């Protein structure tokens, strides 16, 4: 669904709101709500992760959305990146560790960059005297079906947008999409019996 689609839906309800205003609101508030949710309201993810990346078009060029879910399908974390390499993967894993703690196992595909990033993390643990924090790295394509299927919920919304005009706009919009997706999956503490719109209001309040 594009910003213009949202504008048309709002007009059908008798309200005048330009799609550019919707875009500005998204850019301003989606990252704030996402951080509020991430820091205070997100349920803990499981300790067995499935990690993968998918493609997002920005200004006619492909960028990479790193994502991880646990074995139950709950979102661990996500990160948009202009590059797909060990540095980007390591940055994502550090972000995920900060939000969701340490996994016992991370399942990835045959990506050498992702494997190298995890090996680097394990080396950092060892050098810090934290060898008991070693992450078991598992490279099995079929076990990553969970995260690949979860990508579809995000791509179903971003694909009709036909790409983003800036990296910042893409980041903000994806933050809102991912937040909605996590709320819909019941990942908000004390939000299991609330519809998604009520959970949004609770975050904004």
Sheet holding 136-139, edge to edge: 75-81, 61-70, 48-58, 105-108, 136-139
Nearest-angstrom CA–CA distance, 42 and 189: 6
pLDDT attached to residue 75: 96
Tokens of 126: 């060892």
Nearest-angstrom CA–CA distance, 130 and 115: 19
Model pTM? 0.85
Judge whether residue 4 has pLDDT over 90.
no
pLDDT, tens digit, for every residue of 62-79?
999 999 999 999 999 999
pLDDT, tens digit, for every residue of 149-186?
999 989 888 887 777 889 998 999 899 899 989 999 99
Of residues 89, 70, 64, the one with CA closest to residue 182: 70
Question: Is 35 or 5 the better-scoring residue by pLDDT?
Answer: 35
Mean pLDDT of 33-55: 91
Nearest-angstrom CA–CA distance, 187 and 198: 14
pLDDT, tens digit, for every residue of 78-128?
999 999 999 999 999 999 999 899 999 999 998 899 999 999 999 999 998
Question: How many Cβ atoms are within 10 Å of 65's Cβ, its own excluded?
Answer: 22
CATH number (domain holding residue 140): 3.30.420.10
Residue whose token pair is 């609101």: 25
Domains identified in the chain, total number: 1
**What domain range is 197 assigned to?**
3-204
SS3 (DSSP) at 107: strand
- Do 84 and 64 meet the contact criterion of CB atoms below 8 Å apart? yes
What element of type H or E holds 11? Answer: helix 3-12
């Amino acid at each position: 669904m594009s910003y213009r689609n949202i504008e048309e839906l709002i007009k059908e309800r008798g309200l005048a709101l330009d799609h550019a205003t919707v875009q500005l609101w998204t850019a301003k508030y989606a990252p704030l709500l996402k951080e509020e949710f991430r820091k205070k309201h997100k349920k803990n993810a499981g300790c067995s992760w499935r990690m993968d990346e998918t493609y997002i078009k920005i200004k006619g060029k492909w960028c990479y959305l790193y994502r991880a879910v646990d074995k139950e399908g709950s979102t661990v974390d996500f990160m948009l990146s202009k590059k797909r390499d060990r540095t980007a993967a390591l940055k994502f894993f550090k972000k995920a560790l900060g939000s969701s703690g340490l996994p016992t196992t991370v399942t990835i595909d045959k990506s050498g960059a992702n494997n190298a990033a995890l090996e680097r993390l394990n080396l950092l643990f060892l050098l810090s005297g934290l060898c008991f924090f070693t992450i078991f790295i598992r490279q099995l394509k079929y076990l990553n079906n969970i995260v690949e299927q979860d990508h579809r919920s995000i791509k179903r919304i971003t694909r009709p947008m036909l790409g983003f005009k800036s990296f910042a706009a893409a980041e903000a919009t994806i933050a809102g999409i991912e937040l909605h997706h996590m709320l819909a999956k019941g990942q908000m503490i004390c939000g299991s019996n609330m519809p998604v719109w009520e959970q949004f209001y609770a975050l904004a309040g």
